[in-house]
């Protein structure tokens, strides 16, 4: 009788541990908007991201941008893994990309250096590049505001190393 109880407990334990492992290795699936809400907690993790291709880099096709249904949120996908490049024909197509979330950090010092370069490159009295200078300075100010708001000494730039993708029908 004891043998049957022990055997039963071993079988139950084996099945429950298999089920636990399976659920932990399942890759999470999110759309672009959902991703941006959880991206900082998923750096170096594998996820499935769904979105619509709104741009493919024309020189190499090695990157594309996915947007959400509103068009307000986007994420850059870098070709990696099984992906050699993205075709321009994908523009407007909904994709489900399997990828690893990556982060590049710009330090406050790097942002300060960038500002000095912008000011030296575009003196205030130069009219030709006024728009470029204004856009770059707006980006710099936006980065600093984000850093202050989040109490960080760096600005995060997130992207995805795309391992594979499929077209969503």
Q: Which CATH superfamily is domain 2-167 in?
A: Nucleic acid-binding proteins (2.40.50.140)
Q: Where are the domains of the chain?
A: 2-167
Handedness of CA 38, 80, 57, 94 (dihedral sign): negative
CB 98 within 8 A of CB 28: no
Q: How far apart are CA 78 and CA 85, in angstroms?
A: 9
pLDDT digits (tens, 9 = 90+) for 85-138: 999 999 999 999 999 999 999 999 999 999 999 888 876 655 555 566 788 899
3-state secondary structure of 104: strand
Q: 65 φ, ψ to 5°?
A: -120, 130
pLDDT, greater one: 134 or 76: 76
């Amino acid at each position: 009788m004891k043998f049957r109880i022990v055997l039963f407990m071993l079988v139950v334990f084996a099945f429950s541990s298999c089920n636990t492992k399976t659920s932990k290795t399942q890759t999470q699936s999110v759309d672009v908007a959902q991703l941006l809400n959880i991206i900082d907690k998923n750096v170096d993790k594998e996820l499935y991201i769904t979105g619509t291709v709104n741009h493919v880099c024309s020189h190499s096709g090695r990157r594309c941008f996915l947007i959400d249904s509103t068009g307000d949120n986007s994420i850059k996908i870098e070709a990696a893994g099984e992906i050699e490049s993205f075709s321009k024909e994908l523009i407007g197509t909904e994709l489900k990309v399997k990828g690893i979330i990556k982060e590049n950090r710009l330090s406050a010092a790097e942002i300060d250096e960038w500002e000095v370069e912008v000011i030296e490159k575009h003196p205030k009295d130069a009219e030709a590049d006024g728009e470029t200078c204004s856009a770059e300075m707006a980006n710099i100010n936006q980065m600093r505001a984000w850093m202050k708001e989040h109490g960080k000494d760096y600005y995060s730039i997130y992207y995805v190393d795309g391992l594979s993708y499929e077209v969503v029908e």
